[in-house]
Each structure stands twice: as C-alpha cells, then as structure tokens.
Amino acid sequence: MIAIIDYGVGNLRSVEKAFAYIGYQAKVTAKPEDILQADKVVLPGVGAFGKAMEHLAKAGMVPVVHQMIRSGRPFLGVCLGLQLLFEESSEIFGEQECLHKGLGIFPGRVLRFPVSDLKVPQIGWNQITRVKDAPLLQGVPDGSYVYFVHSYYVLPQDPEVTLCQTSYGIDYCSGVSYQNVAAVQFHPEKSSRVGLQILKNFAEQN
C-alpha cells in the first residue's frame, strides 16, 4: 500500500486518484502507524514552507518521515514535499526574510526565484532535463513537459543528488534522487501521461 501523508496542507486526493487511475492502491492518512506500515510513502504539499513544517510537527510526522526514510522503503516528495526535505527555506514576506528549518534529509537550501522579467510564481508547463538516470524517470523522454506551480526552488549542497533540471530564468534543480528517496518540484498528478508514468515508476519500485 502507498501512504500519502496528510498533514492538513494541500489537495491530496488528486495524488490518490492518480495512483488509482493507473491501478495502484494509495491511501491518504494522518495516522503514523499507517505510514510506518506502508510499502511506499508520498509527501505532497503546496503553500508556505514554514506553515507546512508547523503542520508536520503538530501532526507528529517529522520523526515518522525520518523513520520511514531510514527503513529503506521508497519515498517520494511532490512540489513542497521536495522542498521540505532540505535543511532550510528562506521565505520572503513583504520586505522581511524568514528562515525556516526543514526536515534536513538533504543538505541545501530553498530559495525564491530571482527578480526577472518572468512571472513568479511559475505556473504552467515546462521541461525537465535529465541530469542522471534513476528508476523514477524510466520511460520518460528527456525534455518532457510537466506542470509546475511554485515561487521557490531547491539548491542542493551536493549536486550529485540532482535528478533533473528546469530552466526558468535560471537553471534550477527540479528533481532529486538518492538511494530510496526521490522528489520532484512539479506535480506528476497534473502532468498528463508523463506524470502518470513517473507515478507508475514509483509504485513499481521495490
């Protein structure tokens, strides 16, 4: 069973329905015991990094996520779920910059897109360029278009964890993969056939 972590942030049912569409059982759950007993776990998310970490902590999910990852079972972060895996995020509210601690699975920071002629947040379809091979992107053509909604991007300290990149004013890391953990900045559940292939690849991992 695939557990989708429910910590009170975002529309989780779309991820659940996407797995069901391709024939895999997934369950949205806020129960730590469900997550720890699952074969695979998805950490989704939308919105502000700081608030999401608050919700995770209040739900008792921070140690659960760490335990699940240490178990070696497949783990997938989606959108904000990618960012939360890093050490800290620099969020800007008005003119004030606030630092928020993340889960610290990967060394690195979450940064806001720099000022440019491009609109922030990035909303819509953009391409991913493969940086390395990994099971998550099996059968996904290089340069495929996927769906993004975000104002911040991850900057890994170790470039070896970068799975794919995307260009939006800058070339940034739009996916990571290391051992049993993978995460993407885009929304596979909203990315048509390419996204469903990515979810299928994850569901079939051992």
187 carries an active-site annotation:
yes
* Burial 3-22, CB ≥16 within 10 A → b, else e: bbbbbebbebeebbebbeee
Residue 91 in tokens: 């969020």
Residue 61 in tokens: 């999910």
- Contact partners, residue 117, CB within 8 Å, separation at least 6: none
Taking the C-alpha atoms of residue 26 and residue 78, their distance in angstroms, rounded to an integer, is 15
The catalytic position among 91, 100, 150, 187 is 187
Residue 54 in tokens: 């608050």
The catalytic position among 79, 91, 100, 164 is 79
CA 118 to chain centre: 23
Taking the C-alpha atoms of residue 176 and residue 178, their distance in angstroms, rounded to an integer, is 7
The catalytic position among 66, 160, 189, 204 is 189
Q: CA end-to-end span of the chain, whole Å?
A: 12
189 carries an active-site annotation:
yes
CA 193 to chain centre: 18
Enumerate the active-site residues.
Answer: 79, 187, 189
